[in-house]
Amino acid sequence: MQQLPYLSLITFLPVIGLILILFLPKKNDKQVKYIAIFFTGLQVVLAGILWNAYNYAAGGINDPKSFQFVEKFTWIQFWGGDWLGTVKIDYFLGIDGLSMPMVMLTALISFIAAISSWSINKSVKGYFALFLLLDTGMMGVFVALDFFLFYVFWELMLLPMYFLIGIWGGPRKEYAAIKFFIYTLLGSVFILLAIIGLYLSAKVPLGDGTQVFTFNMLELMNPKNYLQDGILSAVNPSNLRFLAFIALFVGFAIKIPMFPFHTWLPDAHVEAPTPISVILAGVLLKMGTYGILRINYPIFPDVTVSLVWWIALFGMINIIYGALCAMAQKDFKKLIAYSSVSHMGFVMLGMASLTTVGVAGAVLQMFNHGTITAMLFLIVGVLYDRTHTRGLDDFGGMANQMPVYTGFVTVAFFAAIGLPGLSGFISEAFVFLGGFSNGVTRVLTVISTLGILLGAGYMLWTLQRVFLGNLNEKWNALTDLDTREYVMFIPLTIIIILLGVYPSLMLDIMNSSVNSLVKFLTVAKTSYTSIGF
C-alpha cells in the first residue's frame, strides 16, 4: 500500500493555510484566526496519527532503514563542473525516536500558540501568515535528513521570527529582533561552513556508479564514505574535524542558548508577544540541542567523546548561572527566560553523559521543558494582558483574586521546580542518574544538583511575590481565566501531569533511538583511535 507522505503533509500544511490566508480580504480577521487554528490543529491530529503508526522498535540515528515515514527523492541535480561532479540534493525526510517527540512538541506548541494569538489585533493577516511560515520552518528542521534541506528550513524559520518580534513586539522590539536575528544568523554561518566542509569530504555512489559529494546526513555518519584526503575526513582525522565540530556546536549552542551566547534570549523573550515567546521557548530552543544530538553526535562521534566533559561543564554553568540570574530579575518574563537557560542546562548535562538514561532524560527534558515553559510564558501573558505590567513587585495576592489561574500557576511552577508527579522531575532525575553514571561527568552532575535548590528558590519567591500576600488594591477588578485561556492551559496541564505519572509514554518512543545513539558513540570511542586530541 502506498503510504501517504505524512511528513510532507505535516510540514507543509501550514503553508496551505498561509496561502488561504493570503487570499482572504484584509478585514476578515476572525476567519484568518480560525484558519490558523484549524491548520495547526490539523497538525496536532497528524502528529497523533504519526504517533499511532510509529514503530517503537526502530532505532534510526545512522541507519536509513530504520527511519520511519521516509520520503526521499532527488530535489536538485545538475552538473557542477569537473571538480564538483554532479551536485545532487535530496528531498529527504524521515523521523526516528529523537525527532518524533520534537514533532509532537512542535505541533502541540504551535496549536497552543495559535490559540494564544487570538488577542493579536495588529495586522492580523500578516501575523498569522508569518506564524504559519514559522511553523513550517520549525517542523521542517525536525524532519529533514538532508543537510541542505535542514539548512533551508533552519533559515526559513529565522525570517518570520524576526518580523514577529520586530513588528508585534514590545517597546524595544527592534533591538530585540535585530539582536535575535543577527545572533542566530551568526550561528547559521558557522553551521553552513561545517556543512560545506562535510559536503566536500565524503562521496557516495550515484545510480550510475559515479561517486558524488553528498549532503545526506546519514551517509555522512558512515566513516567509510569519507574520502582519504577530504578535509573533514573521518578516515584520516585531522584537527580540522575538531574545528568543524566546534563550528557546528557553536551554531547550535547559540540557539540553546548556551552560556555565554545566551543574552539574546532574555531580550527576545521580553519583547516578543506572548505566543511568540511560547514558540521561542517551547520549540526554538530545542532545535539547538536537537541539532547537536542529530548532527554533532553521530557525524563527529570521535570529537564528541573527547569533549563531553566540556559539554557537561557548560551544561552545569547554564544550570547554576541561569538560576542565579533568574533570582535577581525584577521582570516576570525575564525571570522565566533565565529559567529556560537554567533548564536547558539539564539537557546539555544529560546529553554529555553518553548513557541511555542520561540522553533519554535529556530528550525528555527537551519535551518537558517545551510544555512547562510554554505554560509559564502563557501565565505571564495572562497577567500581562490584564495589567500591562510584568514587574514582580507590582503584584501580590493574586491567589485570592484569580484562584483558578493560581491553581494552574502552582502546577506549572512546581513542575519547573521538578516536583515528583509532574513531568519535570522525571527528566531531571534521569539526567542526574545518567550524568552520575558516567565517570567523566560525575562531579559536574553532583554540582548541578544545586540547580534544583536554586530553581525552587526563585520559583517559590516569585510565587510568593506575585500570588501570595495581600492583594494590591490596584488589581481588584481582575477577572479569572476565560474559556480561551482554559483551552490553552488544560492540555498542557494534562500533559505535564501525565508525563509525570507515566513517563513511559514518551520514554518508550525514544528508547531505541537513544540506545542506537549511545551504542554508536560507544563504538566510536574505540574505533577512532588515531585522533590526536
Partner 1 sequence: MNENLMINLSVIALFIPLIGFFFTVVLGKRIKSMYLFEILIISAVMIISALLAFFKLAYYTDAVFIAEFTWIKIQNLPVFGDFSFNLGVKLDNISVIMLFVVAAISTLVHYYSIAYMKGDKRYNRFFAYLGIFTFSMNGIVLTHNLLMMYIFWELVGLSSYLLIGFWYEKKSASDAAKKAFLVNRIGDMGMLAGILIVFFTFHTFTFDEIFGQVASGVLPFNSEFWLTMMGILLFCGAIGKSAQFPLHVWLPDAMEGPTPVSALIHAATMVAAGVYLTVRIFPIMTGDALLFVAVVGMLSAFIPATIALTQTDIKRVLAYSTVSQLGYMIMAIGVGSVVYGFFHLVTHAFFKAGLFLGSGSVIHGMHHEQEITQMGGLRKKMPVTYYTFLIFCLAISGVPFFSGFLSKDGILAATANFSIFTGHWLIPVAAFSVAILTAFYMFRLLILTFHGTPRNQHKYDHAHESPKFMIVPLVILALFSFFFIFSPNPISAENGWTLSSWLKVPNSVVPESARYSFLASAPADGSSGSLYTHEYVESSHHIHYYVLFGSLLLAGIGILFAYLFYQYRKLNADKLTGKITPLYTFSRNKWYFDELYQSTFVAGTMRLAGLLAWFDSTIVDGIVNLSASVTRIFSRISGAFDNYVVDGLVNLFATLSGMFGLILRRFQTGRVQVYLVFVLFSLIVLILTFA
Q: Are 335 and 462 in contact (CB under 8 A)?
A: yes
Figure out which of the listed residues 102, 107, 347, 357 binds partner 1, where binding follows CB under 8 A. Answer: 357
Under rule CB under 8 A, which residues in 413-452 are in contact with partner 1? 414, 419-421, 425-426, 429, 432-433, 436-437, 445-446, 449-450, 452
Least distance CB 445 / partner 1 (angstroms) = 7
Written as one letter, the residue type at 25 is P
Nearest-angstrom CA–CA distance, 423 and 144: 28
Q: Which of 159, 186, 163 is nearest to 173 (CA)?
A: 163
Least distance CB 523 / partner 1 (angstroms) = 9
Q: Are 426 and 347 in contact (CB under 8 A)?
A: no
Figure out which of the listed residues 76, 260, 393, 490 binds partner 1, where binding follows CB under 8 A. Answer: 260
Q: Which of 425, 454, 184 is nearest to 316 (CA)?
A: 454
Which cell is 126 given?
Answer: 500578516
Verify binding: residue 263, partner 1, rule CB under 8 A.
yes
Residue 113 exposure: Cα atoms within 13 Å on the Cβ side? 32
Under rule CB under 8 A, which residues in 360-419 are in contact with partner 1? 360, 397, 399-400, 403, 407, 414, 419
**Stretch touching partner 1 by CB under 8 A, among 123-131, 272-280, 379-387, 454-462:** 454-462
Verify binding: residue 183, partner 1, rule CB under 8 A.
yes
Q: Are 520 and 62 in contact (CB under 8 A)?
A: yes
Verify binding: residue 515, partner 1, rule CB under 8 A.
yes
Nearest-angstrom CA–CA distance, 74 and 90: 4
Whose Cβ is closer to partner 1: residue 43's or residue 356's?
356
**Stretch touching partner 1 by CB under 8 A, among 13-21, 149-157, 349-357, 476-484:** 349-357
Binding-site size, partner 1 (CB under 8 A): 59
Verify binding: residue 356, partner 1, rule CB under 8 A.
yes
Under rule CB under 8 A, which residues in 120-179 are in contact with partner 1? 179
Figure out which of the listed residues 22, 182, 185, 490 binds partner 1, where binding follows CB under 8 A. Answer: 182
Verify binding: residue 325, partner 1, rule CB under 8 A.
yes
Nearest-angstrom CA–CA distance, 107 and 250: 27
Whose Cβ is closer to partner 1: residue 85's or residue 407's?
407
* Bond prior to 257 in cis (omega within 30° of 0): yes
Residue 73 pairs with which residues in a beta bridge? 91
* Binding-residue pattern over the window 460 to 499 for partner 1, x denoting contact by CB under 8 A: xx--x--xxxx-----------------------------
Figure out which of the listed residues 86, 235, 522, 531 binds partner 1, where binding follows CB under 8 A. Answer: 522
Which cell is 115 given?
Answer: 490559540
Least distance CB 148 / partner 1 (angstroms) = 29
Nearest-angstrom CA–CA distance, 333 and 379: 10
Other beta carbons within 10 Å of 494:
11
The number of helix segments (H) and strand segments (E) in the chain equals: 23, 4
Least distance CB 458 / partner 1 (angstroms) = 8
Least distance CB 277 / partner 1 (angstroms) = 19
Whose Cβ is closer to partner 1: residue 202's or residue 364's?
364
Class of residue 87 by CB neighbours under 10 A (exposed 0-12, middle 13-18, buried 19+): middle
Written as one letter, the residue type at 437 is S
Angle of helix 450-467 relative to helix 301-327, nearest 10 degrees, comes to 30
Written as one letter, the residue type at 438 is N
Residues that bind partner 1 (CB under 8 A): 179, 182-183, 259-260, 262-264, 321, 324-325, 327-329, 355-357, 360, 397, 399-400, 403, 407, 414, 419-421, 425-426, 429, 432-433, 436-437, 445-446, 449-450, 452-454, 456-457, 460-461, 464, 467-470, 503-504, 507, 511-512, 515, 518-519, 522
